[in-house]
Chain A
Amino acid sequence: MRLTRRHFTKLGVAASAGLAAPAIWTKGSFAQSDKIRVGCSASLTGPLSGTKNMVIGYELWRDDVNAAGGLLGKEVELIVYDDQSSPSNAPAIYSKLVDVDQVDFLFTPYGANLTATIMPFAQQRDRFIVGILTLASNDKLKHDKFFQAAPWGPDGATNWARGFFDIAERDGVKKMAILAADTEFSKTAAEGGRRVSEEMGMEVVDFQMYPPTNRDFSAILRNIKAAEPEAVFVCSYPADSTAILRGIQEIGLNDSVRLFGGGMVGPQYASLMENLGPALNGVVNFHLYVPEPTLKFEGIENFLSRYEPIAKQQQVDPLGFYIPPFTYAAGQLISAAVEATGSIDQAEVSQWLHANPVETVVGQINFDEIGNWTERRVLMVQFQGVDDSGLDQFRQAGKEVVIDPADYASGELIPFADARKA
Chain B
Amino acid sequence: MVVLDLVLNALATGLMLGSIYALLALGLAITFGILHIPNVAHPAIVIAGAYAVVMTNRYGVDPVLAAVLWMIPFYMLGILFYEFYARSFESRGGGNTLQSLTLFFGASLVIEVALVVAYGTDLRSVSVGYVGSSLRLGFVAIPYRFLIPALITPVVVFLLWLYLTRTNVGLAIRAVAHDERAVSVSGVNPAAIKRHAFGIATALAVIAGAALVITGPIDPFAGRIHIGRVFAVVVLAGMGTIPGTLAAGIIIGIAESLVMSFMSPSWAPGVAFAILLATLALKPTGLFGAGR
Contacts and interface: CB of A to CB of B under 8 A. Distances in A.
Query: Which among A219, A246, A269, A270 has the greatest number of chain B C-beta atoms within 10 A?
Result: A219
Interface string A50-72: 10100000000000000000000
A195 B88 CA distance: 59
Contacts of A47: 221
Contacts of B94: none
A229 to B, nearest CB: 16
B9 A238 contact: no
B268 interface: yes
Contact of B132 (A215, A266, A279, A314): A279
B143 A246 contact: yes
Contact of A218 (B9, B133, B222): B9
A32 to B, nearest CB: 39
B266 A211 contact: yes
A221 to B, nearest CB: 10
Interface in A248-272: 249-251, 266, 269-272
A45 B109 CA distance: 12
B141 A251 contact: yes
Given A45-B116, A219-B257, A250-B141, A209 B124 contact: no
A209 B264 contact: yes
B281 to A, nearest CB: 25
B122 A50 contact: yes
Nearest to B144: A250
Interface in B1-31: 2, 5-6, 9-10, 13, 17
A239 B222 contact: yes
Given A219-B260, A239-B216, A246-B216, A226 B134 contact: no
Given A215-B215, A218-B13, A272-B217, A250 B265 contact: no
Interface string B111-141: 0010010011111110000011110000001
Nearest to B221: A47
Contacts of B132: 246, 249-250, 279
Contacts of B261: 219, 222-223
A251 B269 contact: no
A273 to B, nearest CB: 11
A218 B219 CA distance: 22
B120 A218 contact: no
A278 to B, nearest CB: 9
Given A222-B261, A250-B133, A242 B217 contact: yes
Query: Which among B5, B6, B132, B215 has the greatest number of chain A C-beta atoms within 10 A?
Result: B132
Contacts of B225: 213
B interface majority secondary structure: helix
A44 B266 CA distance: 31
A223 B260 CA distance: 10
Contacts of B143: 218, 246-247, 250-251
B86 to A, nearest CB: 31
Contact of A242 (B17, B216, B269): B216
Contacts of A214: 260, 265, 268-269
Contacts of B144: 250
A358 interface: no
Contacts, number: 113
Interface in A269-310: 269-272, 275, 279
Given A219-B13, A275-B123, A211 B217 contact: no
A99 B146 CA distance: 54
A271 B123 contact: yes
A317 interface: yes
B51 to A, nearest CB: 13
A245 to B, nearest CB: 9
Interface string A366-380: 000000000000000
Nearest to B146: A216
A210 B261 CA distance: 11
Contacts of B134: 250-251
B13 A238 contact: no
Nearest to A271: B122
A220 to B, nearest CB: 6
19 contacts: A52-B121, A208-B264, A208-B265, A210-B268, A211-B266, A213-B269, A215-B215, A216-B215, A222-B9, A226-B2, A239-B216, A242-B217, A249-B133, A250-B143, A250-B144, A251-B141, A266-B123, A271-B217, A317-B122
Given A216-B13, A223-B6, 15 more contacts: A50-B219, A208-B265, A209-B266, A210-B260, A210-B265, A210-B266, A211-B266, A214-B269, A219-B257, A219-B265, A226-B2, A246-B143, A275-B123, A275-B125, A275-B217
Give me the 7 closest cross-chain CB pairs, A-B, nearest first.
Answer: A210-B265, A271-B122, A249-B132, A219-B261, A315-B120, A250-B143, A213-B225
Interface of A: 45, 47, 49-50, 52, 182, 208-211, 213-216, 218-220, 222-223, 226, 238-239, 242-243, 246-247, 249-251, 266, 269-272, 275, 279, 314-317
